[in-house]
Amino acid sequence: MQVEAMNSAMRVAIIGSGPRGMSVLERLVARLIEADSRESVEIFLIDDGYIGTGRVWSTEQSPHLLMNTVAQEISAFSGPWDGIEARPGNGPSFAQWWKLHREDYSQFGGYGPRAYYGEYLLYVLSAVERSLPPHVTLDKLSARVESLEEADATQLLYLSNSETLEVDRTVLATGHPSNHLQGFEKTLHDYATRTEGVAFMAGDSVADMNLSEIKPQQKVGIIGMGLTFYDLVAELTMGRGGEFIPQSDGSMRYNASGCEPRIYVGSRSGMPVPARGFNQKPSDYEYHPAIFTSERAFRIIQNGDVHFDRDVLPLLEAEISLVYAETKLRLKKGEDQARRLREYVINHQVDSVEGVSTFAHILGLSHPMAIDLYKLANPFRGCTFPSIDSFNEVLHSLLAADYEEAMRGNVDSPMKAALDVIRNSRSVIRLFVDFGGLHPHSHQNEFLRKFSPVSGFLSAGPPVFRILQLQALIKAGIVTVIGPSVKFEPAVGENGIVMSSPSVQDSTVTVKVVIDGRIPTTDITRDRSSLTQSLLEKGIYTPFVNRKKDVVFETGGVSVTASPFHPIRANQTIADKLYVLGIPTEHTRWFMQSGSSRPHKWIDFMIDADAIATDIVQGGGEKYDSNQVKKQHYATTGTL
């Protein structure tokens, strides 16, 4: 069935209605209101999950699944709220909405359940719909886009409900992929498929995993100890009726329901993701770097041949060490000494950890610590343990230390304040990395394989109370951490999958179910989506290749132009009626999994959405200067 065009209306399809797609919709309607044109516009918001939330933010998921960013730092509106009726460009932050619509804000330590954020996104969608100008319509289509074809000036979208939709512009904001398995994941999947009583669950959003198949007391192995691990543990414990009981000494005790499985877990590092520091910063907090600045980045980039370990990481670690040292100075010597350290660093153009340490020592800090990110992320490297129990004793002490630091806060804990620099420096890191800024070898091996997972590990942790919960579960015998570098292999002579750590003696455990607790990486060549594969087959999508002379690295992310992010076809022409945003472009750009903007300023998330909206409204005639608009927005909001 053909969906008829609305007279001569401009038709825009947004494929994917998660946070990225919703941000484009919000900015598009804001730009249309601002343009005050009478041209008819028909917008199609398409999702095969839940319209307005996507599947990751479904309102039907468990309340135990939490976000890892504090609510007061999140807004899906592109402007601060004036307290009147919400509309595009003017609406409450997630925290403001939460406090108005629910009475449990204080119960989660400021970290919202993902289902709540889904409700908030639906609130944003409702505000957008109420604000549509008379000449603009919004059609919400619950369907999967199976394929896309380019006509002379339009695109044909073939939907899973057998309809065909013809549009003038298409925004692809399709979210997390489901990949064809390879390597040991495929080995485990194939083994489980042919072996009775054994199951393997591929990496995915926990809300979409069928955990009901796991039986009480059944031995379950989890690959990875990142944020998904904490979600899985919450669902397999609290989600099955267990309770955490606060104790007088500040710890927690787990009261089991008897429906829990026995959980065994391991990862490369053997360390669960540390907690984020208790938030002490206001929602409009801005960090202004002294060493790892955009000005320095531009100078380095102009010289060319940028290698991450040689040219970028030393500056970032120097900035991190500066915050660590000035926090210690402030606590021991007062604000003036901390301020003097930063002034010395800026005035003397310090660009190394050694330089920071020298001035910190002069100002009275006897042992300023140099931050080694890789050591922090791999605390058990080179260690061996005589048993799982001995390993877990050491792990318990590290978790206790992490909890203590996290409770000191992200301002008063030198370590947590320092690690927040990683989050605050993402925009500078992108200057080096995006669109093949690094040498291909460095991009692949130094940045993506080494630094990127470590940066996420150290800067994107769970709420601090998750650490207490994990300690309680380990003590109760519900969760057992096997150790670092855990291997997963089919069992020989019995039905099961064997887990073991080469660093821990007698650590072999046979489990019946293995869950991959890692989010699938972006690789359009492995993506099982029929839409992605059709775009590849037609040459509309092609993987971005970082190429320097004879060194080549095919990234797996969609090759796109700079803002407003048109796909670059296989024949090197530009598909200027299409836009690709977010996760499909990961590796071409960096950290595209971000799902929100800030209440007081536009970060790249909203700048990108506005770039696309502006290009659509302008008909692609005037190319978009994202840096200029960013400066204009900061100037208007007073945040530059």
Angle, nearest 10°, between helix axes 465-475 and 227-237?
A: 60
Local confidence band at 638 (pLDDT 50, 70, 90 cut-offs): very low
Tokens of 145: 């886009």
pLDDT tens-digit series, residues 495-521: 999 999 999 999 999 999 999 999 999
Mean pLDDT taken over the chain: 93
Q: Residue 1: what pLDDT?
A: 46
Q: Residue 2: what pLDDT?
A: 52
Q: Residue 346: what pLDDT?
A: 97
Residues 100-120 have a mean pLDDT of: 93
Residue 31 has pLDDT above 50, yes or no: yes
- The contacts of residue 627 (CB under 8 Å, 6+ apart) are none
- The contacts of residue 149 (CB under 8 Å, 6+ apart) are 155, 156, 158, 538
Which of 226-240, 427-441, 496-510, 587-601 is predicted least confidently? 587-601
pLDDT tens-digit series, residues 244-267: 999 999 999 999 999 999 999 999
List, edge to edge, every strand of the sheet that includes 155-159: 2-3, 164-167, 155-159, 145-150
Q: Residue 627: what pLDDT?
A: 45
Query: Cα–chain-centroid distance for residue 546?
Result: 23
Tokens of 378: 């791999």
Residues 466 and 457 sit within 8 Å (Cβ to Cβ): no
Residue 628 has pLDDT above 90, yes or no: no
Tokens of 414: 């030198």
Find tokens 């907090």 and name the residue: 285
pLDDT tens-digit series, residues 40-92: 999 999 999 899 999 999 999 999 999 989 999 999 999 999 999 999 999 99
| Alpha-carbon span 630 to 183, nearest angstrom | 43
Using CA atoms of 389, 395, 401, 407 in order, give the dihedral in degrees to the nearest 10. -110
Q: Residue 38: what pLDDT?
A: 82
- The contacts of residue 433 (CB under 8 Å, 6+ apart) are 308, 443, 447, 589, 590
Task: Of 514, 272, 527, give the one whose Cα is nearest residue 399.
Answer: 272
Count of all residues that appear for the chain in the document: 640
Task: Of 90, 30, 41, 95, give the one whose Cα is nearest residue 69.
Answer: 95
Q: Residue 620: what pLDDT?
A: 66
In degrees and rounded to multiples of 5, residue 516 shows phi and psi of -80, 110
Q: Residue 637: what pLDDT?
A: 31
Say whether 255 sits in a helix, a strand or coil: strand
Angle at CA 180, nearest 5°, toward 170 and 161? Answer: 45
Q: Residue 356: what pLDDT?
A: 95
Element containing residue 343 per DSSP (H, E):
helix 335-347
Domains and CATH numbers, the chain: 2-178+523-637 (3.50.50.60), 183-273+469-516 (3.50.50.60), 294-459 (no CATH)
Residues 370-381 have a mean pLDDT of: 91
Residues 342-354 have a mean pLDDT of: 96
| Alpha-carbon span 267 to 105, nearest angstrom | 33
| Alpha-carbon span 530 to 147, nearest angstrom | 7
Does the bond joining 564 to the residue before it have cis omega, within 30 degrees of 0?
yes
Find tokens 């590092």 and name the residue: 269
Find tokens 């970060």 and name the residue: 603
Q: Residue 464: what pLDDT?
A: 94
